[in-house]
Amino acid sequence: MSKSFSRSVSARLTPRSVSSPRVLAQRKWWAAQGPSFGNLAVIFCLVSVILVAGCMLYLYAFRYFGRGRLISGFFDESDVCNVFDGSWVPDGSYYPLYNSTECPFAERGFNCFANGRKDMNYLKWRWQPRHCDIPKFDAREILERLRGKRVVFVGDSMSRTQWESLVCILMTGVQDPNTVYEVNGNKISKTIRFLGVKFQTFNLTVEFYRSVFLVQQGLAPKHGPRRVRLTLKLDKMDDINHRWIDSDVLIFNSGHWWTPTKLFDVGCYFQNGGVLKLGMSINSAFRTALDTWATWIETMVNTNRTHVFFRTFEPSHWSGLNQKACEVTQQPLSVAKSDDRSEFADIIAKVVGNMTVPVTVLNVTLMGAFRSDAHIGTWSHPSSILDCSHWCLPGVPDAWNELVFFHLLANRRKKLGR
């Protein structure tokens, strides 16, 4: 945009032809007054300096202040501000966004405060992009904008954490908590494949579907090697995919189960086109699965209605030998450090970049790499579980949801609120 704008400014600064009738008329008027050539030169220089200075000042102000705030309705936010480039700043005046103890949809295992964590500093940090501000989350306004909508999360336990975060944030904008309920009467559990919370007053559902690989997991072929007990069918989407289609906001994540311990160590290998791929690397399989996902989005999802997001790998902070120690710090790190699996983020970016329909990548990998203070650690339920992967609630997943609605409310292509 800046290049095209510069070209248009240059065009306006191009001198007019000397044969212009307007210029000739001006010459005749000046000739009648009998000015000297020196006066004309001085006046011409002054006018030129004023024009050039004015244009430079305009360009500077346009570019500088344009980076500092989003000009709604004129720019796409990606032209002005990379919201994933920033830092965590203390903000105890506004955060945390909710009390997880008062939210019936927050798992006890994610409620670090209820599980004995005494320090409260981890609750009071705000993600601050370098060149713009994220508007404060107004739960009531968002509920109104989501009236009659479906918000669907698909992925692993990290996706469930973000789902719980959003439900708890939205609960703060509800006058009667009894009008909010799980549609099947289920308690929140990591073993249930589907959880859906209905905000009855707003005819809104916020749903979670557990699909850790996004593609189908099935039994081993009859005549396969003995070590093969399960397969991931990289060319087939999870068999519950039809339940994700007719949504208004669709948020995916995957990556944490794409590890040797979750795959090869339990006898799960890859299959593509009905053929076992025993020598295929995890990264190659992840790329193939995402290509299948991308084709499914392009052919099955109406992106004129549905805004699709894919969240990148969320970093953990395991340390020590064999990455089995978990040291939860008191403050966010000043330098990002984690098991960030950045190659997964690169794969996601490449796949989305080749798609023919709009998909927003939530590149949260870097922002999570600073938050070694925000993991569950020993404040889990039961307490015998050590956890340097998942996040306390309230916490980091709240910022993911703030970024989702930043995009939804700022993007020119959004469908919500129109």
Sequence length of the chain is 418
Helix (H) or strand (E) holding 277: strand 275-277
The pLDDT, as a whole number, for residue 181 is 98
Structural domain including 10 reads 2-67
Same domain, 123 and 217: yes
Q: Is residue 156 situated within a structural domain?
A: yes
pTM of the model: 0.80
- Going by C-beta distance under 8 Å and a sequence separation of 6 or more, which residues neighbour residue 326? 317, 318, 319, 375, 377, 378, 386, 387, 388
Per-residue DSSP letter, 135: P
Q: Is residue 300 situated within a structural domain?
A: yes
Same domain, 158 and 303: yes
Tell me the one-letter amino acid at 40.
L
DSSP string, 348-411: HHHHHHT-SS-EEEE--HHHHHT-TTSEEET-SSSTT--EEEEE-SSSHHHHHHHHHHHHHHH-
Q: Is residue 81 situated within a structural domain?
A: no
Same domain, 214 and 110: yes
The pLDDT, as a whole number, for residue 173 is 97
Residue ending a domain, among 67, 102, 117, is 67
Q: What is the mean pLDDT of each run of 10 residues along the chain (418 residues)?
A: 36 35 38 53 62 48 31 37 93 96 94 94 96 92 97 97 98 97 92 95 98 96 92 98 97 96 96 95 98 98 97 90 88 84 88 97 94 96 89 97 92 46
The neighbour count for residue 177, using CB atoms within 10 Å, is 11
The pLDDT, as a whole number, for residue 81 is 83
Q: Is residue 355 situated within a structural domain?
A: yes
Same domain, 101 and 60: no
Using alpha carbons, select from 229, 230, 165, 153 the residue that is nearest to residue 196.
Answer: 153
| Model confidence pLDDT, tens digit, residues 137-154 | 999 999 999 999 999 999
Whether residue 394 has a cis bond before it, omega within 30° of 0: yes
Residue showing tokens 């970024």? 403
Whether residue 117 contacts residue 169, with contact meaning beta carbons closer than 8 Å, is answered with no
Whether residue 158 contacts residue 256, with contact meaning beta carbons closer than 8 Å, is answered with yes
Helix (H) or strand (E) holding 253: strand 249-253
Same domain, 282 and 353: yes
Same domain, 259 and 305: yes
Same domain, 291 and 404: yes
Same domain, 141 and 28: no
Same domain, 317 and 248: yes
Same domain, 378 and 251: yes
Q: Is residue 254 situated within a structural domain?
A: yes
The pLDDT, as a whole number, for residue 381 is 87
Using alpha carbons, select from 355, 415, 334 the residue that is nearest to residue 150.
Answer: 415
Q: Is residue 78 situated within a structural domain?
A: no
Same domain, 216 and 318: yes
Whether residue 238 contacts residue 211, with contact meaning beta carbons closer than 8 Å, is answered with yes
Same domain, 127 and 229: yes
Residue ending a domain, among 39, 67, 95, is 67
Q: Is residue 348 situated within a structural domain?
A: yes
The pLDDT, as a whole number, for residue 154 is 98
The pLDDT, as a whole number, for residue 338 is 76
Number of domains in the chain: 2
Q: Is residue 392 situated within a structural domain?
A: yes
Joined together, the tokens standing for residue 14 give: 């191009």
Q: Is 322 left (phi over 0), alpha (psi -120 to 50) or beta?
A: left
Residue ending a domain, among 38, 67, 96, is 67
